[in-house]
Amino acid sequence: MKPEKILVTGASGMVGSRFVETFEVPAKLLTTDRDVFDLTRTESVAAYFSDHPDIAAVINLAAYTNVSEAQKQKGDKNSLCYQLNVVGTQNLIDQIRDKGIYLIHISTDMVFPGDAADPGPYAEDHPVEADKNRLTWYGYTKALAERIATSTLPSAAILRLIYPVVAKYDLKLDYLRALLGYYEKNHFLYPIFTDQHMNISAVDEICLALNQLLAHRPSGVFHAGSSDITTPYQIMTQLFDLVYGNHDPVKPGTVDTTRYPQFGGLLNQETEKHLGVHFSSSEEIVTHLYGGLKK
Protein backbone atom coordinates (compact mmCIF):
# COMPACT_ATOMS: atom_id res chain seq x y z
CA MET A 1 0.00 0.00 0.00
CA LYS A 2 1.36 3.42 -0.99
CA PRO A 3 1.85 5.91 1.83
CA GLU A 4 -0.74 8.66 2.04
CA LYS A 5 0.47 11.95 0.62
CA ILE A 6 -0.14 15.53 1.72
CA LEU A 7 -0.44 18.09 -1.05
CA VAL A 8 0.83 21.56 -0.11
CA THR A 9 -0.23 24.27 -2.53
CA GLY A 10 1.72 27.52 -2.27
CA ALA A 11 4.65 25.59 -0.83
CA SER A 12 7.18 28.20 -1.98
CA GLY A 13 5.51 30.97 0.02
CA MET A 14 6.49 32.33 3.40
CA VAL A 15 4.39 29.89 5.42
CA GLY A 16 4.51 26.97 2.99
CA SER A 17 8.28 26.92 2.66
CA ARG A 18 8.74 26.90 6.43
CA PHE A 19 6.15 24.15 6.85
CA VAL A 20 7.94 22.00 4.25
CA GLU A 21 11.29 22.74 5.89
CA THR A 22 10.14 21.66 9.35
CA PHE A 23 7.77 18.80 8.54
CA GLU A 24 8.96 15.58 10.19
CA VAL A 25 8.24 13.23 7.26
CA PRO A 26 9.15 15.19 4.10
CA ALA A 27 8.61 12.12 1.90
CA LYS A 28 4.87 12.42 2.59
CA LEU A 29 4.66 15.90 1.08
CA LEU A 30 3.77 16.82 -2.48
CA THR A 31 4.67 20.33 -3.60
CA THR A 32 3.81 21.80 -6.96
CA ASP A 33 4.69 24.52 -9.41
CA ARG A 34 2.37 26.26 -11.81
CA ASP A 35 3.70 24.39 -14.85
CA VAL A 36 2.11 21.15 -13.63
CA PHE A 37 -0.54 22.44 -11.24
CA ASP A 38 -2.41 25.63 -12.10
CA LEU A 39 -5.25 26.14 -9.64
CA THR A 40 -7.01 28.52 -12.00
CA ARG A 41 -7.36 25.82 -14.69
CA THR A 42 -9.85 23.03 -14.02
CA GLU A 43 -8.13 20.57 -16.32
CA SER A 44 -4.74 21.14 -14.69
CA VAL A 45 -6.08 20.42 -11.19
CA ALA A 46 -8.04 17.38 -12.40
CA ALA A 47 -4.99 15.94 -14.16
CA TYR A 48 -2.82 16.34 -11.08
CA PHE A 49 -5.25 14.49 -8.81
CA SER A 50 -5.67 11.79 -11.43
CA ASP A 51 -1.90 11.30 -11.42
CA HIS A 52 -1.73 11.27 -7.61
CA PRO A 53 -4.50 9.03 -6.26
CA ASP A 54 -2.67 8.65 -2.94
CA ILE A 55 -3.38 12.21 -1.75
CA ALA A 56 -5.07 12.04 1.66
CA ALA A 57 -4.88 15.69 2.75
CA VAL A 58 -4.41 19.12 1.18
CA ILE A 59 -3.06 22.29 2.77
CA ASN A 60 -4.22 25.10 0.52
CA LEU A 61 -1.76 27.93 1.04
CA ALA A 62 -1.90 29.16 -2.56
CA ALA A 63 -3.41 32.64 -2.72
CA TYR A 64 -3.07 36.08 -4.24
CA THR A 65 -2.03 38.10 -1.19
CA ASN A 66 -0.86 41.48 -2.50
CA VAL A 67 -3.60 43.59 -0.93
CA SER A 68 -2.69 46.84 -2.70
CA GLU A 69 -2.50 45.26 -6.15
CA ALA A 70 -5.67 43.28 -5.46
CA GLN A 71 -7.50 46.51 -4.74
CA LYS A 72 -6.72 47.70 -8.28
CA GLN A 73 -8.58 44.60 -9.53
CA LYS A 74 -11.71 45.27 -7.47
CA GLY A 75 -14.88 43.95 -9.08
CA ASP A 76 -13.03 42.06 -11.81
CA LYS A 77 -13.81 38.35 -11.65
CA ASN A 78 -11.29 37.70 -14.42
CA SER A 79 -8.50 39.20 -12.33
CA LEU A 80 -5.73 37.01 -10.98
CA CYS A 81 -6.81 37.74 -7.39
CA TYR A 82 -10.34 36.44 -7.98
CA GLN A 83 -9.25 33.58 -10.22
CA LEU A 84 -6.67 32.25 -7.77
CA ASN A 85 -8.48 32.89 -4.49
CA VAL A 86 -12.03 32.00 -5.54
CA VAL A 87 -11.97 29.96 -8.77
CA GLY A 88 -8.82 28.16 -7.65
CA THR A 89 -10.42 27.14 -4.36
CA GLN A 90 -13.51 25.90 -6.20
CA ASN A 91 -11.37 23.91 -8.66
CA LEU A 92 -9.49 22.31 -5.80
CA ILE A 93 -12.61 21.39 -3.86
CA ASP A 94 -14.27 19.96 -6.96
CA GLN A 95 -11.47 17.40 -7.12
CA ILE A 96 -11.50 16.34 -3.48
CA ARG A 97 -15.14 16.61 -2.41
CA ASP A 98 -16.00 12.97 -3.14
CA LYS A 99 -12.63 11.42 -2.29
CA GLY A 100 -12.54 11.73 1.49
CA ILE A 101 -9.52 14.05 1.28
CA TYR A 102 -9.01 16.31 4.30
CA LEU A 103 -8.67 20.02 3.45
CA ILE A 104 -6.93 22.70 5.49
CA HIS A 105 -7.77 25.97 3.80
CA ILE A 106 -5.67 28.98 4.79
CA SER A 107 -7.52 32.24 5.23
CA THR A 108 -7.02 35.69 6.72
CA ASP A 109 -8.25 38.20 9.27
CA MET A 110 -9.28 40.38 6.33
CA VAL A 111 -12.53 38.44 5.90
CA PHE A 112 -13.72 40.80 8.67
CA PRO A 113 -14.29 44.55 8.23
CA GLY A 114 -12.48 45.75 11.35
CA ASP A 115 -14.74 48.79 11.60
CA ALA A 116 -16.80 50.38 14.36
CA ALA A 117 -20.00 48.71 13.12
CA ASP A 118 -18.51 45.23 13.54
CA PRO A 119 -15.28 45.57 15.52
CA GLY A 120 -12.76 42.92 16.43
CA PRO A 121 -10.93 41.20 17.84
CA TYR A 122 -12.74 38.29 16.25
CA ALA A 123 -13.31 34.86 17.73
CA GLU A 124 -13.24 31.75 15.57
CA ASP A 125 -17.03 31.60 15.31
CA HIS A 126 -17.55 35.24 14.31
CA PRO A 127 -19.55 35.48 11.06
CA VAL A 128 -17.56 36.32 7.95
CA GLU A 129 -18.52 39.62 6.31
CA ALA A 130 -20.72 39.18 3.22
CA ASP A 131 -20.81 42.78 1.98
CA LYS A 132 -18.01 43.30 -0.53
CA ASN A 133 -18.19 47.06 0.03
CA ARG A 134 -16.98 46.62 3.61
CA LEU A 135 -13.95 44.52 2.67
CA THR A 136 -10.89 44.92 0.49
CA TRP A 137 -11.04 42.97 -2.77
CA TYR A 138 -8.48 40.57 -1.32
CA GLY A 139 -10.57 40.13 1.83
CA TYR A 140 -13.76 39.65 -0.17
CA THR A 141 -12.20 36.94 -2.37
CA LYS A 142 -10.89 35.12 0.69
CA ALA A 143 -14.32 35.37 2.34
CA LEU A 144 -15.89 33.82 -0.76
CA ALA A 145 -13.30 31.04 -0.70
CA GLU A 146 -14.12 30.30 2.94
CA ARG A 147 -17.80 29.98 2.11
CA ILE A 148 -17.04 27.63 -0.78
CA ALA A 149 -14.93 25.44 1.51
CA THR A 150 -17.31 25.32 4.47
CA SER A 151 -20.49 24.86 2.42
CA THR A 152 -19.06 22.13 0.19
CA LEU A 153 -16.76 20.30 2.61
CA PRO A 154 -18.17 20.22 6.16
CA SER A 155 -15.12 18.20 7.21
CA ALA A 156 -12.68 20.94 6.15
CA ALA A 157 -10.65 23.12 8.49
CA ILE A 158 -10.17 26.85 7.97
CA LEU A 159 -7.00 28.32 9.48
CA ARG A 160 -6.93 32.13 9.56
CA LEU A 161 -3.65 34.04 9.82
CA ILE A 162 -2.79 37.68 10.52
CA TYR A 163 0.46 39.44 9.55
CA PRO A 164 2.72 36.34 9.45
CA VAL A 165 6.28 36.96 10.64
CA VAL A 166 9.25 34.64 10.22
CA ALA A 167 12.95 34.45 11.06
CA LYS A 168 14.05 34.32 7.42
CA TYR A 169 12.37 34.39 4.01
CA ASP A 170 14.15 35.87 1.02
CA LEU A 171 11.33 36.20 -1.51
CA LYS A 172 9.13 38.62 0.42
CA LEU A 173 9.53 40.90 3.42
CA ASP A 174 7.21 40.12 6.29
CA TYR A 175 5.45 42.77 8.38
CA LEU A 176 8.45 43.40 10.63
CA ARG A 177 11.21 43.26 8.03
CA ALA A 178 9.25 45.50 5.67
CA LEU A 179 9.31 48.32 8.24
CA LEU A 180 12.98 47.76 9.03
CA GLY A 181 13.78 47.69 5.30
CA TYR A 182 11.90 50.93 4.73
CA TYR A 183 13.81 52.63 7.52
CA GLU A 184 17.20 51.37 6.33
CA LYS A 185 16.49 52.58 2.80
CA ASN A 186 14.96 55.98 3.61
CA HIS A 187 16.53 56.78 7.01
CA PHE A 188 13.16 57.72 8.41
CA LEU A 189 9.88 56.01 9.20
CA TYR A 190 6.39 57.17 8.35
CA PRO A 191 4.04 57.62 11.35
CA ILE A 192 3.00 54.32 12.93
CA PHE A 193 -0.58 53.78 14.02
CA THR A 194 -1.30 53.98 17.73
CA ASP A 195 -5.04 53.36 17.31
CA GLN A 196 -5.15 50.27 15.09
CA HIS A 197 -5.95 47.05 16.95
CA MET A 198 -4.22 43.97 15.55
CA ASN A 199 -1.91 41.07 16.27
CA ILE A 200 0.70 39.01 14.41
CA SER A 201 1.24 35.33 13.59
CA ALA A 202 4.56 33.58 14.19
CA VAL A 203 5.12 31.29 11.19
CA ASP A 204 6.65 28.56 13.36
CA GLU A 205 3.49 28.56 15.50
CA ILE A 206 1.37 28.41 12.34
CA CYS A 207 3.33 25.28 11.41
CA LEU A 208 2.58 23.76 14.84
CA ALA A 209 -1.12 24.40 14.28
CA LEU A 210 -0.94 22.81 10.82
CA ASN A 211 0.73 19.72 12.26
CA GLN A 212 -1.98 19.39 14.90
CA LEU A 213 -4.71 19.76 12.30
CA LEU A 214 -3.10 17.04 10.18
CA ALA A 215 -2.71 14.75 13.17
CA HIS A 216 -6.29 15.01 14.42
CA ARG A 217 -8.21 16.26 11.34
CA PRO A 218 -10.87 18.33 13.08
CA SER A 219 -13.34 20.41 11.12
CA GLY A 220 -14.20 24.04 11.78
CA VAL A 221 -12.46 27.40 11.97
CA PHE A 222 -9.16 28.00 13.76
CA HIS A 223 -6.99 31.08 14.35
CA ALA A 224 -3.20 31.30 14.50
CA GLY A 225 -2.15 34.63 15.97
CA SER A 226 -0.34 36.10 18.93
CA SER A 227 -2.13 35.74 22.25
CA ASP A 228 -2.55 39.48 22.72
CA ILE A 229 -4.17 42.33 20.81
CA THR A 230 -1.73 45.18 20.31
CA THR A 231 -1.03 48.12 17.98
CA PRO A 232 1.55 48.70 15.23
CA TYR A 233 3.10 51.43 17.38
CA GLN A 234 3.66 49.07 20.32
CA ILE A 235 5.20 46.44 18.07
CA MET A 236 7.50 48.88 16.27
CA THR A 237 8.75 50.61 19.42
CA GLN A 238 9.78 47.21 20.77
CA LEU A 239 11.33 46.17 17.45
CA PHE A 240 13.42 49.34 17.13
CA ASP A 241 14.52 49.12 20.76
CA LEU A 242 15.79 45.60 20.10
CA VAL A 243 17.47 46.35 16.77
CA TYR A 244 18.73 49.92 17.24
CA GLY A 245 18.73 50.38 21.00
CA ASN A 246 16.08 53.09 20.87
CA HIS A 247 12.77 53.84 19.16
CA ASP A 248 13.32 57.51 18.35
CA PRO A 249 12.42 57.00 14.64
CA VAL A 250 9.01 55.54 15.57
CA LYS A 251 6.56 58.44 15.58
CA PRO A 252 2.89 58.03 16.50
CA GLY A 253 0.24 58.29 13.81
CA THR A 254 -3.49 57.76 13.31
CA VAL A 255 -4.92 55.04 11.10
CA ASP A 256 -6.54 55.98 7.78
CA THR A 257 -9.77 54.01 8.07
CA THR A 258 -10.48 54.37 4.35
CA ARG A 259 -7.48 52.12 3.66
CA TYR A 260 -6.97 50.01 6.77
CA PRO A 261 -9.23 48.30 9.34
CA GLN A 262 -9.01 49.95 12.73
CA PHE A 263 -10.56 47.37 15.04
CA GLY A 264 -9.05 44.07 13.95
CA GLY A 265 -7.24 41.15 15.49
CA LEU A 266 -7.86 37.42 15.84
CA LEU A 267 -8.70 35.68 19.10
CA ASN A 268 -7.48 32.10 19.43
CA GLN A 269 -8.62 30.74 22.79
CA GLU A 270 -10.78 28.06 21.18
CA THR A 271 -7.96 27.08 18.84
CA GLU A 272 -5.53 26.70 21.74
CA LYS A 273 -8.05 24.55 23.59
CA HIS A 274 -8.88 22.27 20.66
CA LEU A 275 -5.41 21.96 19.10
CA GLY A 276 -3.27 22.11 22.23
CA VAL A 277 -1.06 24.80 20.69
CA HIS A 278 0.20 27.70 22.79
CA PHE A 279 0.45 31.01 20.94
CA SER A 280 3.04 33.50 22.14
CA SER A 281 2.38 37.17 22.77
CA SER A 282 3.49 39.69 20.15
CA GLU A 283 6.25 40.84 22.51
CA GLU A 284 7.51 37.26 22.88
CA ILE A 285 7.43 36.75 19.09
CA VAL A 286 9.37 39.94 18.36
CA THR A 287 11.89 39.16 21.10
CA HIS A 288 12.40 35.63 19.76
CA LEU A 289 12.98 36.87 16.21
CA TYR A 290 15.05 39.99 16.95
CA GLY A 291 16.31 39.73 20.52
CA GLY A 292 19.82 38.82 19.38
CA LEU A 293 20.05 41.36 16.56
CA LYS A 294 21.76 44.70 17.15
CA LYS A 295 22.79 47.27 14.56
| pLDDT tens digits for range 271-288 | 999 999 999 999 999 999
* Count of C-beta atoms within a 10 Å radius of residue 107: 24
Long-range contacts for 132-138 (Cβ within 8 Å, ≥24 apart)?
Answer: 135/110, 135/111, 136/67, 136/70, 136/71, 136/110, 137/70, 137/71, 137/73, 137/74, 137/75, 137/81, 137/82, 138/64, 138/65, 138/66, 138/67, 138/70, 138/71, 138/81, 138/85, 138/108, 138/110
Number of domains in the chain: 1
Q: What pLDDT shows up at residue 258?
A: 78
Answer whether residue 68 is part of any domain.
Answer: yes
Return the CATH number at 41: 3.40.50.720
Q: What pLDDT shows up at residue 2?
A: 59
Answer whether residue 224 is part of any domain.
Answer: yes
Answer whether residue 295 is part of any domain.
Answer: no
Q: What pLDDT shows up at residue 160?
A: 98
Residue range(s) defining the domain that contains residue 94:
5-290
CB 268 within 8 A of CB 225: yes
Answer whether residue 262 is part of any domain.
Answer: yes
Containing H/E element for 5? Answer: strand 5-9
Q: What pLDDT shows up at residue 295?
A: 61
The residues of the chain scoring below 50 in pLDDT are: 1
Answer whether residue 121 is part of any domain.
Answer: yes
Q: What pLDDT shows up at residue 225?
A: 97
